[in-house]
Amino acid sequence: MRNAARSSALFSALALMACPAAAASSTDADPLGQPARDDVRALFKHLIDAENHHDLNAVRPFVWVSPNTLFVAKTATPAEGNWAGFWGTEVVISHLGELYNTGSFDIEPDYERVKVVGIAPDVAETYAPVQITVAYAGQTPVPKPFLMILNWVRTPEGWRMAADIPLPIPPALTANP
C-alpha cells in the first residue's frame, strides 16, 4: 500500500508540474521558438554527459543558482523518507556528489524520445525516458526505467536547470490467474 501511495504522489507531482503546458490550448503558439528548444535539448545532452562523467565542476554551470532549485531523489536511508526533494543549488550539487561517489551512476536517455516544450518565454521543460543505474543507499546497480522531467529557466547567463524530477516507472501489473 505504501508503494502505491508513493507512486500516486509521484504521478500527482508530474501532473501538477505539467499543468501549465496542459492549460495551453492546442491553438496557442509555443512560447519558445525552435532555436531555443534546440538550445535546451543540446544543454540536456551536455548535462547528462557531465553527470555520467561524475564531474560536479562540469555539472554546476547547468544548475540554476537559486534556493528554489529542486532535485527529487532517493535519500540515504528510509528514515529520511526514501525519496525527497533536495532544495537549493548547493544542496542539489552536494546530493549529486553523494550519488556520484557510489561509483555506479549512469543515465542513458532515449534521445529519440526526448521532448522539449516551452511553458513560457523563459521556461522550458524536457521530458526524457531514461534508464538510470545507481548503487546509492544500498540499491543494486542495474538499469531501471524512469521518466526524467527537467524544468529550465532562462537567466542572463543562459538556460539553467531549475528542477530535475526523475519518476521511477513501476513494473507492469500482471493479472492474477
| Residue 166 confidence (pLDDT) | 94
Cell of 111: 534521445
- Does some domain include residue 176? no
Nearest-angstrom CA–CA distance, 162 and 89 = 9
For residues 155 and 142, what is the distance between their CA atoms, to the nearest angstrom?
A: 36
On whether residue 40 sits in a domain, the answer given is yes
Domain that holds residue 130: 2-22+30-168
Global pTM reads: 0.79
Tens digit of each residue's pLDDT, the chain (177 residues):
444 433 333 343 344 444 444 444 444 678 999 999 999 999 999 999 999 999 999 999 999 999 999 999 887 777 777 788 999 999 999 999 988 887 788 999 999 999 999 999 999 999 999 999 877 656 677 889 999 999 999 999 999 999 999 999 988 887 766
Give the domain CATH number at 100.
3.10.450.50
Kindly report the number of other CB atoms within 10 A of residue 40's CB atom.
Answer: 23
Report the number of distinct structural domains present in the chain: 1
Asked whether residue 45 is domain-assigned, the answer is yes
